[in-house]
Structure 1
Amino acid sequence: MDPVGTIRATYSHFGPYDHGSVGAQIADNLYLGFRQTADDEQDTHLFPGMDLKFRLFNEKRFRPEISFGMQSVLGHKRMAGEYLALSKRYENFDFTFGAGWGRMGTRQTIANPMLFKNFSSSHRSLDGESPNSPKDWFSGRAGLFAGLQYDVPAVRGFSFKTDWSSDDWNAERHAYSEFDAPPPWSIGISYRPYDWIDAGFAMSGLNHMMLRLSFSPNLKDWVPRAAETPAFVEMISGRPDEMPLQHHSNEETSEQLGLRHVDFSNLRADADLEISPTLPAAFQIGQGARHLSNISGKNPEQLSFSLMHYGLRGPNLTLNRRDLEQASLTHQGSAEEIWHNTLIDDQIERAMPPALKRAKEKFKQSFGFKVDWVSDFSLAEDDAGILYRTALVPSLTKRIGKHFTTEHAVRFNLADNLQQLSQYRGVSLYPVRSDISVFTQNGILVDRQYLAGFATLAKDVHVSASIGYLEEMYAGITGEILYRPFDKPWAIGLDLNQSMKRDPYAIWGLASNGDHILSGFVNGYYEVPNTGATFKASAGRYLAGDVGGSLALDNEFDNGVKAGAFIVATNRSDFDLYGGKTNLYAGMTISMPLGSLPLIPDGSRMISHTKPLGRDTAQRLDNPVSLYEVTEPISYRSITRHWSALTHRP
């Protein structure tokens, strides 16, 4: 399998089919892709689908790599198939052997080994206009396949391949009376001149040619970051006898670093530290600690920070000042040694800053401007082919005091082909997102305009509420509560949303069309140790009134790139052109930071969604202030994952 973070875009041709796919290696063991297949011999009939591959066991000295995959796990039946593959490498040879089901189980067949305890059916339909469904998975007979690859040592990236297929092309034999099915064997070559591109050519028999071209850049190599890294705060050699806190330049630096309510005693220097989501939390702690040490005078031996984000209170971190001096000035320590001696305590008593003793806290405002380039793609349409739309969404965020924020965002729709939706699908009386083409016809639309409030009720218990225009298609009121223990890899929460559908025919979509719905979910989260990956499971009521649940995997890499995938199942179905229906809905999102590029505001991102468009079931409100995401910058994972940035620039 590809390294985690790899994005793969592939075109291939074999038999009567042209295949185009886009997928991502979401995690070390999971690949997810979306494919569109065109049959030129049948008036360009389309066979969309979602494919996945999961690695069960890594290869070891005496054990092959064991993986299972599902082609068109959600999609058209003609391309659907499942497989279990074993791969073993020996010097320059790579051997593969496995068993397949569905399309991959029609040649060299054996009795289905999955039939124990009625786990699978012995009969399976291999074609038809209804989509593939869970009852079809691993059903029918199984077929055996094998493959061999030899990497030529003298030519980097060049290899010979030969395969024996378990696909007998049964669906095509029934669909075309004179179909010339390719033989099971094939032999070909593959060339990978660079890590991110490879091409292949093969012959199956003497009359059937196979072509493949694939681009596979890795998201970890994405150069831009969410923001340009600020100048490094150097630690002053030698402790000053007096505290220069009252100097205007020091107060300004404290403000720029996010330090608030700075206070000193003979034992400790204290401050609130507002964590920005665009830089590693550890780097910001290190910047604040060095600056606080520079202005603390001679006596304090501890540097204590209360981590804050959007008014939510995280843990108190207390660093040993002497450890920081040794690491910064004499290079006799390290970030890991500083972490070992760092105290994490939610109950540290802090003296009230003198400013708060003299008067109430001043009303403060802060602003944040960013521009997102948002694109939506669907490769899973059997009635409209490939759909897309792209937009530019500039937004202005204003902090109001300590606990409130507002966001104002405008959507500039740049290009799309969603007019195809109205050609193939009927009009819904109560559209949820099936009227996406009408919204997109507006050149300018208010995307978001809301007021949100945040508070920490108790240790690790956070709440939020929002009111206003929450996303492109809905306005309303939301409330959320989250319990996220600081030293645990899990969290649990609940959100409730009273949503009102916006009228796409109104000016800027500001009016309501009268439809409203109460939705809500119980959410569970689990962080995969030592990674940026998070599993999320939700169950509740969706915007169409349907009830169901979802599973999602999101992964954030060290450079700030995010990739995620989800699947939803509910008790209601969407219909397609051919009368088929499905209760499942799945998609993938990739988000890449742009803020470090010249003239691009901090926090700007390029966001790509790949999912079916214009669906009404399994749809959830796009909450702009998810508490789990808001608390991530002050979480244990965020702080420790980049802790080495405490003493140097990331």
Structure 2
Amino acid sequence: MARRAGIAALLAGATALAGAAYPETVPSYNLYGLPGLVDMPDANMSPDATLGLTYGRMGTANRGSVSFQIAPRLVGTFRYTGIGSFDHRASVDGVYYDRSFDLRFQLLTEGTWRPSVVVGLQDFIGTGIYSAEYIVATKTITPGLQVTGGLGWGRMASYNGFGGFGTRSEEILDEGGKPTTDRWFRGDIAPFGGVAWSPDDRLTFKLEYSSDQYDLERENSTFEHNSPINVGMDYRFKGGSQLSLYYAYGSTIGAQYTYTMNPKTLGVPGGVETAPLPIKPRTGAEARDLGWISELAATEATTQTRLARSLKREKLELEGFRLEPHRATLRLRNETYGATSQAVGRAARSMSRIMPGSVEEFVIIPSENGVPASAITLRRSDLEALENEAATEMLVRTRFDEAPADTPKMDLEDYPKFLWSLAPYYGYATFDPDGPLRLDLGVSLRGTIEFTPNIVLSGSLNKKIVGNLDDVTRESESKLPRVRTDYAEYAREADPKIPRLTLGLYGKPAPQLYSRLTLGYLEPMYAGASAELLWKPVDSRFALGAEINYVERRDFDMLFGLQGNETTDPVTGITRSFPHVNGHVSAYYDIGNGYNAQLDVGRYIAGDTGATVTLTREFANGWRIGAFATKTDISAKDFGEGSFDKGLIFTIPVSIGTGQPSRNDSTLTIRSVQRDGGAKLAIDDRLYERIRENHEPDVAASWGRFWR
């Protein structure tokens, strides 16, 4: 399926690299995309939140990987490999393609006498071709010199192994996707190790004894294993990326390029925007003057006009306003600043320069799609006293409440509004064995009519210019209704196409309760209606939601036609139908320190029922990296290749490359394989993300932007 995802998009979206300064450097990555020597792992850890992208080749094998330092001691890796000249029933034109996942955890950090110790699972949920487990220790002997030693199981015990616990299957699983728990730390054990020496901050030389005999490659391809000794050299560029060269197993030359970045240290985008206005202090006499209230209505009108003009200069919008003798309430729309705190800070500065002197309390109500999301109360005297102090001082004196029932009514004088843009678009697909990388490029005409802030008609028209997404010939042998695996037909017939055309209605039916109703062409494959309710207290890390959808499949040309909820398998000729109604109940929890969890339980498009677990790590600058897994009542056999739906999520803020503040971002989803089980609608205006950005936990996390 066309997906806005992939390693190439990550490279294009990033403009800064996490540093590689000696000696506190990102460690060298091995040919598996993990901190290591040549082919073997070591016990080094990258700095927290490091994202490493690697592409390497050794012999006939190409390996690409994405590795993320999930926590200071935990690393996760996704790897995609193509092995040439591999004689296997699943090979395509002699190339065997494989997807695998790794996890590794640091048991002990390095001390004066104690080595760092790491335990790892390699290819623990794949076909098993790279299946291995290990315990490894690394010790720095002198600055620049490290010694590593470890014990391996599975592939890492295929050379000079000795008896261990239990027996271990070496079978390559056709479907993959199942945790191979029956293999973990079973079978033979073998030692491995090596030495790494860095004479300066650029070069590292490696000598390795490998316990991997490459049995599968020797049996099924032209690979030769003549020696367990591997040597390698890494060269680090100034930006921190790394080029590596290897001579491995006495028979082959290898090379790899590694690109690292760290969302945690990239900083919050911004700084190019115009500086905010300074706070205007009051005199004692101004603060006591209440003479203006005799003409309250007239003063309120002129003050609102001046404030709206001031906010417009800050690229903010006044949606509603109320003035009282000691309080001013502003209903604020922010479509510019990724950090709500920055929008609130700028609005407060404008209010300090315009409000009558007796107004001591500013109540700023952030609004999302015309829905009041919270009430942030600031004392004017605190703003005057703390403007040149740390933002945390102001946070202590700020109050977060539920938006009041008597929120100022929306000012609809400038509505309806029409907005449009013409921009490039791309569609992206990965991991089809006949073409592991497919890409469409074109232009997208997008338009929005805002009848009111909470009644919005929006859509887009896309025209492909160049690409090969329609060049898919392999037919899926799905045993389910083809709710997603007909993507090739959509790619072939839809040009030009209307990916979405929807009418959205947003509301707040009760305190702490938010609503959405979306009608129309909801996503590229489905039209219908989607209704959502979200319960989210303003000061809580916990939220509950429910969504119900009524859908019908769109015509393959992706214009205005519908084709009913029946699909015919072109391989077997079997026709299968799926229900019109699907939906979920959802629980959300902000764990803290940027970690978030989501659980969705319900019915998926194909009619299967189950649950999706999503874990993400978010950063104040808008980056988000996570993973998800969906398991339904569909058996692994009926689901097909991959056994169940799973993947990685990367959200990249648009402003990371421009320095300009923006609320826009691009979410890239990398699936190991697109199947029909566990499929959800791709609704693009769900409530939780936008609402919580205006609630206390999220606003407080980015409060450092308040004075910016």
TM-score computed with the length of structure 2 as normaliser: 0.78
Distance 1:221 1:346, change over 3 A: closer
Return closer, same or farther for 1:599/1:643 CA change in 2, 3 Å cut-off: closer
SS of equivalent to 1:40: coil
Contact 1:74 1:584 in 2 (8 A): no
**Greater CA deviation, 368-377 or 77-86?**
368-377
**1:226 to 1:141, Cα distance in 2 relative to 1, 3 A:** farther
294-303 or 123-132: bigger deviation: 123-132
Q: How many Å apart are 1:17 and its aligned residue?
A: 2.0
State how far apart, in whole Å, the 1-side matches of 2:465 and 2:263 are.
25
The aligned residue for residue 515 of structure 2 is: 463
The Cα of 1:215 is off from its aligned counterpart by: 2.5
1:118 corresponds to: none
Q: Kindly state the Cα deviation for residue 10 of structure 1 after the two structures are TM-superposed.
A: 2.3
Q: Greater share of strand residues, 1 or 2?
A: 1
Match of 2:63 in 1: 19
**How many angstroms apart in 2 are the aligned matches of 1:537 and 1:111?**
42
**Contact 2:519–2:530, Cα closer than 8 Å, also in 1:** yes
Could you tell me which residue of structure 2 aligns to residue 313 of structure 1?
A: 372
Change (3 A) 1:478 1:504: same
Letter in 2 for 1:561: W
Retained in 2: the 8 A contact 1:227–1:595? no
- Partners of 2:652 and 2:671 lie apart in 1 by 18
- In the alignment, structure 1 residue 78 sits paired with structure 2 residue 122: no
Tell whether 2:562 aligns with 1:525. no
1:548 aligns with 2:610: yes
Change (3 A) 1:190 1:605: same
Partner of 1:336: 392
**TM-superposition CA deviations, 1:75-104 (whole Å, max 9, x none):** 433233344444444543334444444323
Give the direction of change, closer, same or farther, for the CA distance of 1:349–1:46 in structure 2 (3 Å limit).
closer
Shift of 1:284: 0.8
Tell me whether 1:385 sits opposite 2:436 in the alignment. yes
C-alpha change, 1:365 and 1:141, in structure 2 (3 Å) is farther
Amino acid at match of 2:341: A
The equivalent residue for 1:495 is 547
* Structure 2 residue 706 is the aligned partner of structure 1 residue 641: no
Q: Which amino acid aligns with 1:197?
A: S
Deviations along 1:267-325, one digit per CA (max 9) or x if unpaired, are: 22222222437431111111111111212111122111223212333332211111101
Assess, with a 3 A threshold, how the Cα gap between structure 1 residues 599 and 170 changes in structure 2: closer, same or farther: closer
Match of residue 48, structure 1, among 72, 93, 98: 98
SS in 2 for 1:464: strand
Question: Which residue of structure 1 aligns with residue 18 of structure 2?
Answer: none
2-structure distance, mates of 1:637, 1:249: 32
How many angstroms apart in 2 are the aligned matches of 1:99 and 1:395?
57
Aligned to 1:146: 192
The 1:627/1:54 distance shift into structure 2, 3 A limit, reads: farther
What is the percent sequence identity of the aligned residues? 22
Change beyond 3 A, Cα 1:89–1:244: farther
Which of residues 152, 162, 184 is equivalent to 2:207?
162
1:581–1:447: structure 2 CA closer, same or farther, 3 Å change rule? closer
Q: Which residue of 2 aligns with 1:448?
A: 500
Question: Which ranges in structure 2 are unaligned for 5 or more consecutive residues?
Answer: 1-44, 88-92, 293-298, 566-578
The answer to whether the Cα contact below 8 Å between 2:63 and 2:79 also exists between their aligned partners in 1 is: no
Moved more, 205-214 or 367-376: 367-376
Once residues 316 and 487 of structure 2 are traced to their aligned partners in structure 1, the CA distance between those partners, rounded to angstroms, is: 42
Q: Report the CA distance between 1:450 and its aligned residue.
A: 0.9
How many Å apart are 1:221 and its aligned residue? 7.3
Cα distance in 2, alignment partners of residues 457 and 492 from structure 1: 15
State the match for 1:432 in structure 2.
Answer: 483
Residue 601 of structure 2 is aligned to residue 539 of structure 1: yes
- List per-residue Cα deviations over 1:238-280 (Å, max 9, x = no partner): 4566669616544422465333332222322222222437431
In structure 2, distance between residues paired with 1:612 and 1:227: 38
Query: Secondary structure of 2:351's match?
Result: helix
1:561 aligns with 2:561: no
Distance 1:226 1:187 in 2: 44
Describe the superposition over 1:575-600 as per-residue Cα deviations: whole angstroms up to 9, x where unpaired: 89xx9644222222334333687899
Contact 1:225/1:559, CA 8 A, preserved across alignment? yes
Q: Given the alignment of the two structures, is residue 201 of structure 1 paired with residue 227 of structure 2, yes or no?
A: no
Structure 1: unaligned runs, 5 residues or longer: 116-121
Query: How many residues are treated as equivalent by the alignment?
Result: 625
Counterpart of 1:409 in structure 2 is 460
Query: What one-letter code is carried by the residue in structure 2 that aligns with 1:48?
Result: D
Change (3 A) 1:128 1:492: closer
Measure, in 2, the Cα distance between the counterparts of 1:54 and 1:538: 27
2:220 to 158, 172, 175: 175
Instruction: Return the alpha-carbon distance in structure 2 between the equivalents of residues 286 and 600 of structure 1.
Output: 17
Partner secondary structure for residue 344 of structure 2: helix
Paired residue for 1:619, among 661, 667, 679?
A: 679
Q: Residues 409 and 56 of structure 1: is their aligned pair in 2 closer, same or farther, counting only changes over 3 Å?
A: farther
Amino acid at match of 1:123: R
Q: CA deviation at 1:514?
A: 0.6
Q: What is the CA distance between 1:544 and its match in structure 2?
A: 1.6
Report the counterpart of residue 399 of structure 1 in structure 2: 450
Q: Deviations over 1:190-221 (max 9, x none)?
A: 22123432122233353333322222344567
CA distance in 2, matches of 1:403, 1:144: 64
Aligned CA distance change for structure 1 residues 424 and 479 (closer, same or farther; 3 Å): closer
Check conservation: 1:566, 1:586, Cα contact below 8 A. yes
State the shift of 1:449 in Å: 1.0
Amino acid of the structure 1 residue aligned with 2:372: R
Instruction: Quote the Cα distance in structure 2 between the aligned partners of 1:258 and 1:209.
Output: 60
Taking a change above 3 Å as real, the CA distance of residues 584 and 303 of structure 1, as seen in their structure-2 partners, is same
Aligned counterparts of 1:459 and 1:477: Cα–Cα separation in 2: 25
Change (3 A) 1:402 1:12: closer
**Cα distance 1:96–1:614, how it changes in 2: closer, same or farther (>3 A)?**
same
For 2:105 and 2:592, how far apart are their aligned partners in 1? 18
Q: What is the aligned partner in structure 2 of residue 119 from structure 1?
A: none
User: 1-side partners of 2:465 and 2:50: how far apart?
Assistant: 28
String of CA shifts for 1:41-70, please: whole Å, max 9, x gaps: 545322321323343556252665454444
Contact conserved, 2:402 with 2:537, CA < 8 A, in 1? no
Residues 575 and 49 (structure 1), Cα distance of their counterparts in 2 relative to 1, 3 Å cut = same
Q: Does 2:146 align with 1:94?
A: yes
Deviation at 1:171?
1.9
Residues 105-157 of structure 1 show CA distances to partners (whole Å, capped at 9, x for unaligned) of 423545556x7xxxxxx33134364435224564441534433443424x212
Q: What's the secondary structure of 1:457's corresponding residue?
A: strand
Paired residues of 1:374 and 1:606 also in contact (CA < 8 A): no
Moved more, 238-247 or 492-501: 238-247
Aligned partner of residue 693 in structure 2, secondary structure? helix
Q: Is the 8 A contact 1:190 1:199 kept in 2?
A: yes
Tell me how far apart the structure 2 counterparts of residues 637 and 447 of structure 1 sit (CA, whole Å).
34
Give 1:222 shift.
Answer: 6.9
Partners in 2 of 1:517 and 1:66 — Cα distance?
A: 53
Whether 1:191 and 2:235 are equivalent positions in the alignment is yes
